[in-house]
Amino acid sequence: MDNVAETNRTENKEQLNEDFEQEVIAFLNYKEGGIIYIGVRKDGQVVGLKDVDLTQLQIKDRIKNNIQPSTLGLFDVIVETIDNKEVIKVVISSGTEKPYYLRKKGRTPEGCYIRVGSSKERMTERMIDDMYSKRIKNTLKEIDSPRQELTFNQLKIYYEEHGLKLNDNFLQNLDLLTSDGKYNYNAFLLADENNVSIKLVKYLGTNKMDLVENQEYGYRCIITATQRILDRLDAENTVYAKIEYKGRKEVEMIDKAALKEAVINAVVHNDYSYGNSPIVELYSDRIEITSAGGLPQELSQEEFLEGVTAPRNKELIRVFKDVDLIENIGSGVLRILDAYDKSCFKFMEHFLRVTFKYRENPFKYNSKNNVSADDTINDTINGTLKLSKNEQQILDLIINNNKITREEIATITKLSDRTISRAIRHLQDEKLILREGSKKTGYWKILK
């Protein structure tokens, strides 16, 4: 890459200067958000930065402290290498509480900016008033929690697991209080107990005629509920495998990264203000993940599919990013589109649905010649296998250490003894492994 061109959504700065906050505000007030590169000249030439870590800290501090309303969950600061030079990429989402302004100037033409073309411009008083009148009033931040006696032990554990500690001011820092000082709906979602759940429904066929399962994952911290639904879908996600002389080829029935992004997007962008929660539906040929609220704010379908972000629940996004459930703000849709085409998204007035068709087994035998399409002579041993995620994980452990015990497998995988026994029995039935000797001194023999 020779240069980084400025556009309506891209601004370049050779270094962090005094008008940086103005550029951030312009993108916060712009319906498409934008990106600011620090370490890139106006002409697009990459020059890099000398002290990336210090600049990164300064950027976060200035955005948090010099701009109002709260920018929590609306920006991401990423270090990138372009042309062998380190630069900083600041990704800014379109804000939900427009207009944003400089704290010291207030909501005035001197403090409010907006992106016009490839530059920022001051907003007029009329523009400010009009934007303020259209501000979303039902943000979760200002909706009282249905319960005002809440605890946050699970949330604290998640933060501690990621090397972070919630201090005595975490309720204010994470915007879990209304302007009146009460617990808001974000606090309710993140509390140890609530009445919110993610529903998982499973059908026998391709329609809703034959219901075989109806589960609720929730009534606790929304992070825990999300983790549990992801674990359940991971178990449902069949891994097709083919054993070869050179190792094993694997293909997932559903792309794991895309599936995770779709679930997390549904959780953090769901409109909880009307009591709706995400729903996951499993059919014999597909999985559908539906969230309430339709497209966030005023985004068009084209803007959404290009990765433009306008977070509905920015406080939730901040927390999910802190605990590493979200990697980079605005990357979810693009990760899904890396594996599936745009038709997987269905836009409705009040809902957004993502559908993933199950991939067929690419190693399945051709009925005419009993050989799969990509086989070569003597390339496979006993054709194809259909292994669950647990079975695949256990087989990998055995291949890497043929003296591994069931207790060691349980310690590594965190699976129950019953699940491990069932998986090993299936691997033995498929004649993939054989136990030689006693439980203590014996070993696993790899048969294929």
Q: What angle do CA 231, 387, 396 make, to 5 degrees?
A: 85
What pLDDT is attached to residue 395?
A: 87
Crossing angle of helices 389-400 and 222-236, rounded to 10° = 80
What percent of the chain has a predicted confidence (pLDDT) above 70? 91
Q: Does the pLDDT at position 87 exceed 70?
A: yes
Q: Does pTM surpass 0.85?
A: no
pLDDT band at residue 368, thresholds of 50, 70 and 90? very low
pLDDT band at residue 374, thresholds of 50, 70 and 90? very low
What pLDDT is attached to residue 73?
A: 85
Q: Does the pLDDT at position 245 exceed 60?
A: no
364-369: average pLDDT: 48
Q: Identify which has the larger pLDDT, 260 or 428.
A: 260
What pLDDT is attached to residue 288?
A: 98
108-133: average pLDDT: 92
Q: Does the pLDDT at position 237 exceed 50?
A: yes
d(CA 354, CA 11): 32
Q: What CATH class has 10-135?
A: alpha beta
Domain boundaries, the chain: 10-135, 141-190, 197-357, 388-446
For the chain, the average pLDDT equals 87
Q: Which two tokens stand for residue 37?
A: 């590169």
pLDDT band at residue 381, thresholds of 50, 70 and 90? very low
387-402: average pLDDT: 83
Long-range contacts of 337-344, Cβ-Cβ distance < 8 Å, separation of 24 or more: 337/305, 338/257, 338/258, 339/255, 339/257, 339/258, 340/255, 340/258, 342/305
- The CATH number of domain 197-357 is 1.20.1260.120: no
CB 303 within 8 A of CB 342: no
For the stretch 1-37, pLDDT in tens is 557 888 999 999 999 999 999 999 999 999 889 999 9
- The CATH number of domain 388-446 is 1.20.200.10: no
What pLDDT is attached to residue 338?
A: 93
What pLDDT is attached to residue 378?
A: 29
What pLDDT is attached to residue 132?
A: 84
d(CA 73, CA 293): 19
Q: Identify which has the larger pLDDT, 413 or 291.
A: 291
Q: Does the pLDDT at position 366 exceed 50?
A: no
Express the helix, strand and coil content of the chain in percent, nearest 5 each: 30, 25, 45
44-65: average pLDDT: 93
Q: Identify which has the larger pLDDT, 340 or 383.
A: 340
For residue 380, list its beta bridge partners: 244
What pLDDT is attached to residue 383?
A: 46
414-420: average pLDDT: 87
What percent of the chain has a predicted confidence (pLDDT) above 90? 58
CB 179 within 8 A of CB 238: no
What pLDDT is attached to residue 297?
A: 62
Out of 48-52, 353-357, 415-419, least confident range: 415-419
Give the Cβ contact number of residue 253 at 10 Å. Answer: 19
For the stretch 297-352, pLDDT in tens is 667 898 888 888 778 888 999 999 999 999 877 788 999 999 999 999 999 988 99
